[in-house]
C-alpha cells in the first residue's frame, strides 16, 4: 500500500454490503488531505453503502479489499475507533439520539485516550482558549444553526436541514482527517447549502480536511469545488474527471449508468 500521507483515505478493491448481498463491487479511491472528491451516481448504485461499510455501520460489512486512513486499517476497527482514527460521516439520514446532549456527545468524542490507538488523528484541536460550548456556539453561527437548538438532545426533533447543519457543527468541532458527506445537501435550502459548503471548504485550509462528498447536485460543488468527480455505478467507480464532469452529468443525467443489479 502506498499511503500518500498519514492522513489519506486509501480504498483498494473494496467489496461488501449487507448479509447475503454484495453491493460494493471493487471500489478504488484515494482522498488526500485538503482534497475534495465528489461521488455521483444513480439511486441504488451503492453510494450510501460505501459510506456505511467505511464507517462500520451494524449490518454492513466488507468482504474483500482494504480501507486505510493513514496507518489505520479501518476495516479491522470498531466504529468508534474508526472515528478516533479521524473518519467522520455526515449520514444521509442523521440519527436522533434522545437523552444525549450534543455537548455530552462531543465531550465524549473528544475525550483524550490513553490506548494510543488513534495516534495521528487531529480530533479535537480547536482555537486556544475556546471552551467546547464556545466552539459549538461559534460553529453553529457559521452554518446558521440557531443556538437554542444546541441544547436539544442530539438531532431530536430537528428538521432535515437543521440536522445537516447540526452534523456540520459536530464535524467542525471534531476536526477529523476525512469527512464523508452523504447527500449533505438534501434538506438544505439554498442559503443553508451555501453556508455548509463554505464551512466544509474552509476546513480544507484550516486543518487539511479531506472530503468525500456524495451528491446529486452541482450546486454543492459550486462552493465546495472538487479536485475530482467520480461516477459510481453498480457498486464501483466507473468514470473519473474534473469538476466539468459534474456539469456534464447535470445535463445528461445518469443515462447509461446502472444501479446495483438485483441478484
| Binding residues vs ligand ADP (CB under 6 A) | 18, 23, 41, 43-49, 59, 260
Task: Give whichever of 4 and 21 is closer to ligand ADP, judged by the CB atom.
Answer: 21
C-alpha cell recorded at residue 188: 438544505
The least CB distance from residue 57 to ligand ADP, in Å, is 9
The least CB distance from residue 256 to ligand ADP, in Å, is 16
Pick one of ligand ADP, Mg ion, none as the site partner of residue 233 (Cβ within 5 to 8 A by kind): none
- Rounded to whole angstroms, the Cα distance separating 27 from 11 reads 7
Task: Give whichever of 41 and 94 is closer to ligand ADP, judged by the CB atom.
Answer: 41
The least CB distance from residue 49 to ligand ADP, in Å, is 3
Distances (CA, A) of 80 to 86, 113, 154: 10, 12, 17
3-state secondary structure of 7: coil
Distances (CA, A) of 92 to 24, 38, 164, 186, 203: 18, 15, 9, 8, 20
The least CB distance from residue 64 to ligand ADP, in Å, is 17
Task: Give whichever of 91 and 176 is closer to ligand ADP, judged by the CB atom.
Answer: 91
Task: Give whichever of 45 and 228 is closer to ligand ADP, judged by the CB atom.
Answer: 45
The least CB distance from residue 19 to ligand ADP, in Å, is 9
The least CB distance from residue 50 to ligand ADP, in Å, is 7
Q: Which residue is nearest to Mg ion (CB)?
A: 48
Q: What is the DSSP string of 92-114?
A: SSPPPEEEEEHHHHHHHHH---S
Pick one of ligand ADP, Mg ion, none as the site partner of residue 2 (Cβ within 5 to 8 A by kind): none
- Rounded to whole angstroms, the Cα distance separating 88 from 29 reads 17
Task: Give whichever of 44 and 137 is closer to Mg ion, judged by the CB atom.
Answer: 44
Contacts 24+ apart (CB under 8 A), 237-244: 237/27, 237/28, 237/29, 237/39
- Rounded to whole angstroms, the Cα distance separating 230 from 126 reads 32
Pick one of ligand ADP, Mg ion, none as the site partner of residue 49 (Cβ within 5 to 8 A by kind): ligand ADP
Task: Give whichever of 48 and 195 is closer to Mg ion, judged by the CB atom.
Answer: 48
Each residue of 167-183: b (16+ CB within 10 Å) or e?
bbbbbbbbbbbbbbbbb
Q: Which residues bind Mg ion (CB under 5 A)?
A: 47-48, 92
Amino acid at each position: 500500500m502506498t499511503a500518500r500521507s498519514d492522513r489519506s483515505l486509501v480504498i483498494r478493491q473494496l467489496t461488501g454490503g449487507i448479509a447475503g448481498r454484495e453491493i460494493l463491487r471493487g471500489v478504488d479511491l484515494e482522498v488526500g488531505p485538503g482534497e475534495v472528491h465528489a461521488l455521483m451516481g444513480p439511486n441504488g448504485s451503492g453510494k450510501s453503502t460505501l459510506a456505511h461499510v467505511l464507517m462500520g455501520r451494524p449490518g454492513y460489512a466488507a468482504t474483500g479489499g482494504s480501507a486505510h486512513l493513514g496507518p489505520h486499517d479501518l476495516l479491522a476497527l470498531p466504529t468508534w475507533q474508526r472515528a478516533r482514527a479521524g473518519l467522520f460521516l455526515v449520514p444521509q439520514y442523521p440519527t436522533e439520539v434522545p437523552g444525549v446532549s450534543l455537548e455530552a456527545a462531543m465531550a465524549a468524542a473528544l475525550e483524550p485516550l490513553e490506548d494510543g490507538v488513534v495516534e495521528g488523528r487531529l480530533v479535537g484541536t480547536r482555537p486556544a482558549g475556546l471552551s467546547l460550548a464556545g466552539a459549538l456556539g461559534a460553529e453553529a453561527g457559521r452554518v446558521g444553526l440557531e443556538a437554542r437548538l444546541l441544547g436539544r438532545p442530539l438531532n431530536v426533533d430537528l428538521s432535515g436541514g437543521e440536522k445537516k447543519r447540526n452534523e456540520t457543527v459536530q464535524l467542525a468541532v471534531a476536526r477529523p482527517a476525512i469527512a464523508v458527506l452523504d447527500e449533505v445537501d438534501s434538506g438544505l435550502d439554498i442559503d443553508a447549502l451555501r453556508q455548509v459548503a463554505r464551512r466544509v471548504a474552509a476546513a480544507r485550509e484550516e486543518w487539511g480536511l479531506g472530503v468525500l462528498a456524495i451528491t446529486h447536485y452541482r450546486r454543492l460543488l459550486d462552493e465546495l469545488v472538487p479536485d475530482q468527480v467520480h461516477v459510481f455505478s453498480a457498486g464501483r467507480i466507473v468514470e473519473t474527471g474534473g469538476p466539468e464532469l459534474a456539469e456534464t452529468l447535470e445535463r445528461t443525467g445518469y443515462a447509461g449508468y446502472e444501479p446495483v443489479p438485483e441478484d
